Structure 1
Amino acid sequence: MSKETIETLVSELVHEEDWRRMRATAACVAGGPRAVQALVEALRTGTPELKKEVAAMLSRIKDPQAGVALVGLLEDEDEVVRKAGANALEQMAGVLDTDTAAALVALLPKYQEGEARQLMTHLVGAIPTAVIPLCDMLKHPDPSAQVTAALMLDQLLDPRSIDAFIDAMGQPAVQDIAVSTLKKLSAIRERIDETFNALRDVEGASEREEARMSTVIYLLGIGRPSVEILIEYLEDDDWLVREAAADLLGKIADVRAVEPLMRRLERDKDTGVKELAIKALGLIGDARPTQLYLEAIPIRPLRVYAMEALAKIKDVEVLRPHKELFDRLRTDRDGLVAYNAGLIADKLEALGGTDITGQEGNHEDE
């Protein structure tokens, strides 16, 4: 059988024959940048049905190069395609680059109300890199665009917007919003700093653990506006403060925390911090720490947490190459390890274990 191009295989994501769809899926997953380029082109030229499948495939591959093209789907005439684009962007929120965020932010002034406006606002709020183009929009010559950006930044309450709001203080359209937002951001910083300073002063092992839990409860209500500050505290000299910061970041479950928590898991010298980091990553459910989880399985204090985190990964397909390991761990002496290994193995079995090569071989003559 002649070897099809990646463009042909992409078109077969919606083929009526199962084996062709599965072959196309395998080719896209393994195809690297060339496959992403072909998928992006299909977003431009494909049928609505193909665009829908391509968007889902891109959300699975999670290559940020596809972000701008996915934003383009939000203005497609087909509602199903628009929804597929929005779902893909939401699933990729943690890896999308500034160019994608800028393309999305540029749509905000076009949709002042209704469902489309709510969708744009939701997506901008979900993408961490959106803060940068929103800050740039504060300098837009149109006062209404300035207000749009200022109101979004006021909702996000991200410390990265402080300098932009200070620069915008002289702009009449957003001056009041800037003053109000800066006050809120200052209050958040002060509350977190004061609480962590008090935590450092606590002495005694049992007292410190109780204080850490109280700190987490006290600060948890701030939510996402505390994320950037908590990431800073992951580098604190006091292990208890690092533990509290990791615990909070897991409970808030913002994707911005994934890579900083991965660094703690990989490099921190304190086992307690590693435990809280791996628990936090598990709560977020991102697939990026998969290899770190696998490496932690042989480490006795971390193995249960590693298995629990693996079982919570949302993109189960990334675990397929390790199915043999999970099958083996189903009989582990540790009941929690065995239980979570069983959960993972069952999910993989439910998704199916099709051998693409075998499927192709059965259709060589077609």
Structure 2
Amino acid sequence: MINESDLEIMRDKKDVEGLINVLKTSNDYKIQENVIYLLGDVCDSQAVEPLLKFLRHGKWSIRKASALSLGRIGDERAVEPLINLLRDDYWHVREIAALSLGMIGDERAVDPIIKTLEDGCINVRCEIVDALANLGNKKAVEPLTKILKEDDYILRACTAISLGKLGDDRAVQSLVSALADENFFVRVNAANALGMIGDESAIPYLEEALTLSKGESEGFEKALKDAIVRIKSRKK
């Protein structure tokens, strides 16, 4: 009977066909799950079609593993099946589907991912926010700025950084408002995001926040100073 060491040897040898054969013939779902992750390590497009079939597996852990490995491989054939997985019953699966769509970076995923911003699970929503940043489509800016007003500080903090990565000036005012957020991490991320965007109009607000924050937190003050320097350096 094949064991974990055998599978790792196959992985190290990049024996994709051998791993796929084990995946197809084994009835042990633990072995199947291990093989799926190992195929993600190898990152060979030969594994795409077999992995796509396991997105419909009855066990959520298998679907999750398949979604992650498909994201790591980065083949566009996985985009539509992963979009469908955004509606999976298990949040762990939806979370990884969003992550993988962000990794693949196909524009077809933008609208479906935006629609899933209302997912009830905070883990999924944070991953969706990050995926939208990785996809880089400016269509996400408006829905993301609305999230900066929501109750969960983790989600607000994730969103601030994603807006920074998108680099769109339309997010500046929302991020400026977030400099006064009640949560430290949101404030720091808002400052960092403004530095990433680089819009000069943010400088007075960053300077004001720096004046008001004296002695409050070295971390926040550093983020504000770094953002100001970063923006000014872009003007030269």
Alpha-carbon distance, 1:319 to partner: 2.5
**1:283 matched residue in structure 2:** 134
Q: Give the TM-score normalised by the residue count of structure 2.
A: 0.55
C-alpha distance in 2, partners of 1:330/1:311? Answer: 13
C-alpha distance in 1, partners of 2:177/2:61? Answer: 46
Aligned pair count? Answer: 156
Alpha-carbon distance, 1:196 to partner: 5.4
Change beyond 3 A, Cα 1:352–1:271: closer
**CA deviation string 1:276-319 (max 9, x = no partner):** 211211222222122221221223141111111111114x2332
C-alpha distance in 1, partners of 2:50/2:190? Answer: 43
Establish whether residue 240 from structure 1 lines up as the match of residue 92 from structure 2.
yes
Change beyond 3 A, Cα 1:232–1:303: same
**1:349 matched residue in structure 2:** 200
- Whether the aligned pair in 2 keeps the contact of 1:195 and 1:215 (CA below 8 Å) is yes
Alpha-carbon distance, 1:192 to partner: 2.1
Q: SS state of the match for residue 139, structure 2?
A: coil
C-alpha distance in 2, partners of 1:247/1:201? Answer: 15
Alpha-carbon distance, 1:345 to partner: 3.4
- Whether the aligned pair in 2 keeps the contact of 1:215 and 1:244 (CA below 8 Å) is no
- Whether the aligned pair in 1 keeps the contact of 2:157 and 2:190 (CA below 8 Å) is no
From 156, 162, 165, the counterpart of 1:312: 165
Establish whether residue 292 from structure 1 lines up as the match of residue 152 from structure 2.
no
Q: SS state of the match for residue 299, structure 1?
A: coil
C-alpha distance in 2, partners of 1:193/1:350? Answer: 51
- Whether the aligned pair in 1 keeps the contact of 2:179 and 2:187 (CA below 8 Å) is yes
Q: Which runs of 5+ in 2 are unaligned?
A: 1-44, 205-236
Q: SS state of the match for residue 289, structure 1?
A: helix
Q: Of the two, which has the highest radius of gyration?
A: 1
Establish whether residue 272 from structure 1 lines up as the match of residue 132 from structure 2.
no
Alpha-carbon distance, 1:331 to partner: 4.2
**CA deviation string 1:88-141 (max 9, x = no partner):** xxxxxxxxxxxxxxxxxxxxxxxxxxxxxxxxxxxxxxxxxxxxxxxxxxxxxx
Equivalent residue runs for 1:1-366 within 5 Å = 188-195=48-55, 197=57, 199-200=59-60, 212=64, 214-219=65-70, 220-266=72-118, 268-297=119-148, 298-300=150-152, 301-314=154-167, 316-320=168-172, 323=173, 325-346=174-195, 347-349=198-200
Q: What is the one-letter code of the residue matched to 2:141?
A: T
Change beyond 3 A, Cα 1:295–1:270: same
Change beyond 3 A, Cα 1:351–1:223: farther
Q: SS state of the match for residue 288, structure 1?
A: helix
Q: What is the one-letter code of the residue matched to 2:158?
A: Y
Alpha-carbon distance, 1:199 to partner: 4.6
Alpha-carbon distance, 1:261 to partner: 0.5
- Whether the aligned pair in 2 keeps the contact of 1:258 and 1:286 (CA below 8 Å) is yes
Q: What RMSD over aligned residues (CA atoms) do the two structures have, in Å?
A: 3.3
Change beyond 3 A, Cα 1:299–1:283: farther
Q: What is the one-letter code of the residue matched to 1:289?
A: A
Alpha-carbon distance, 1:251 to partner: 1.6
C-alpha distance in 2, partners of 1:274/1:238? Answer: 13
**CA deviation string 1:14-68 (max 9, x = no partner):** xxxxxxxxxxxxxxxxxxxxxxxxxxxxxxxxxxxxxxxxxxxxxxxxxxxxxxx
Q: SS state of the match for residue 57, structure 2?
A: helix
Q: What is the one-letter code of the residue matched to 1:288?
A: K
Q: Which runs of 5+ in 1 are unaligned?
A: 1-184, 203-210, 354-366
Identity of aligned pairs, percent? 25
- Whether the aligned pair in 2 keeps the contact of 1:285 and 1:313 (CA below 8 Å) is yes
C-alpha distance in 1, partners of 2:84/2:134? Answer: 20
C-alpha distance in 2, partners of 1:329/1:236? Answer: 33
